[in-house]
Amino acid sequence: MAYLDIRVDQAILLFLLLLAVYFSTILAGRLIFSPLVKFPGPRLAATSFLYEFYYDFICRGRYEFKIEDLHDKYGPIIRINPDELHIRDPEFHSQIYVNSGVRKSSRPASHRNATPSRESTATTLDHDHHRQRRKALEPYFSKNMVTKLEPEIQRIVKRLHERLWQHKGSPTPINLFEVYGAVASDVVTAYCFGSSWGSLEKDNYDADTSHVHMFFTKLMPIFRLFPSLLTLSLAIPEWMIKDPGVVQMQRYRHRVEKQVADVRRATSLKKAGGAGKGITGHTTIFHELLERSTLPPSELADHRLTDEAITLVGAGLVTTAQTLAFVSFYLLNQPEALAKLQNALEPLMVSYPAKTPTWTQLEAVPYLNAVVLEGLRMHGVARRIARIFPDEDLKYKEWTIPAGTAIGMSASALHDYERIFPEPHFFIPDRWLEGDVHLKRKYWVPFGRGSRACIGISLAYVELYHVIAAVFRPNGLKMKLFETNESDVKYEHDFLFPSPKEDSKGIRVLIS
């Protein structure tokens, strides 16, 4: 028995020794032999991903702010984790976020690991694979195709107008993120699947669908570090789950899976109302992909299309809803800006909703255009989205960034650039009506830039213009902020999107 005890002790010691050797090897690789050793930054960040995890998860989305502090200390280029560099230099942004003709751009695996849609176009790592998938989607997000969808968007926005009127005189405030989330959800699901989810028709505006995305983005840091936890959380039976947010994540995925299966069934049975037509009669993305796409069969498998749909719906919902909610706050909080907008809209919106202007007509209203640009400048995607150039080194000043290195820049480096945008933390639409607007657009990147820029720019635009015009038209709805102030829009946390304090109840209004 003593012999066995000794052997157990030896086994434990051997295990601990091997563990020490393993971690020592990793540390040596990161601190001594890594090609990134020469770049400045805190040694803790270079040593372990736990440094980033601490600020992003434990401190609740504060790593972007810590990165700013590190730049102040170490300079314009820093190492922010064992594998990634970050640059704060607005003039260099165009060298990182480039088109395919300049150089191939891949993404780090950590980006894909953090998402529930790992086979979507947006999360595809390899440049060529991403290009194949994106090419199949691009026709449906062109300005010409979105314009064909405009009558459906106008119908949904008119329904929003009717629903808001139903709240007139009610003492109960409404949450604008939830309301606008319902609009965005109905638009993107109608376009993806041929029939909308009818979020606007629900008493609570299908708030769970809007909030499940925000819930998930808060968990991304832990899934980025431990990707198997995400796989497990989506696979375990619902009855075993105690967290209601995780339950909603599962239900949301099942909902999308069913929608994709319904589209496939309708397509195979030729019951979609004609080639590529959905229930609404307009072209729809997933009917078209299944009927006309030249992608190989593996790219059209149910799980792949489900991942694609989750990304398209999520991105189309949250960014649009949040921008609309925050713009609404600024307009209601700045009566002079609202008055300017209403004066500018009066010629086009005087007969609304009997007569509805087109997106092209709304784009031509300078002050409305300025409101949209300024809202997107202040509340686009916050998080840096790193690029990897697999085939060539990148030169930045005296630094040579080795091929295969993840490198990124936060949009705030451009949007808060005081030389271009004085008083960057204030909502000032007039800045887009004076000075060199072309130069300002160079530093305006709410949708990203390059070969991996947001594919849904045109769809977002048409929603933003139509909703803002309908909600804030002269002689229309009278909204008043309810227990809402600057702290409910101030950027405090990076949960992929710039988010306010966590105890914010949202942008709430009363309608009179």
Torsions phi, psi for 211 (to 5 deg): -80, -25
Q: Is the dihedral of CA 291, 297, 303, 306 positive or negative?
A: negative
Look up residue 141 and give its two tokens.
């997000």
Helix (H) or strand (E) holding 79: strand 77-81
DSSP 433: G
Torsion of CA 162, 168, 174, 180, to 10 degrees: 20
Which H, E and C letters describe 41-55, residue by residue? CCHHHHHCCHHHHHH
Q: Any binding-site annotation on 454?
A: yes
- By the 10 Å C-beta count (0-12 exposed, 13-18 middle, 19+ buried), 241 is classed as middle
Please answer whether residues 399 and 77 qualify as being in contact, where contact means their C-beta atoms are separated by less than 8 angstroms: yes
Torsions phi, psi for 455 (to 5 deg): -80, -20
Spatial neighbors of 207 by CB under 8 A, at least 6 apart, are 175, 178, 181
Rounded to 5°, angle at Cα 353 from 184 and 277? 50
Please answer whether residues 471 and 452 qualify as being in contact, where contact means their C-beta atoms are separated by less than 8 angstroms: no
Spatial neighbors of 240 by CB under 8 A, at least 6 apart, are none
CA–CA separation, 383 vs 108, rounded Å? 14
Q: What is the CA radius of gyration of the chain?
A: 25
Tally of CB atoms within 10 A around 502? 11
> Which residues define the annotated binding site?
454
> Which residues define the annotated binding site for heme?
454
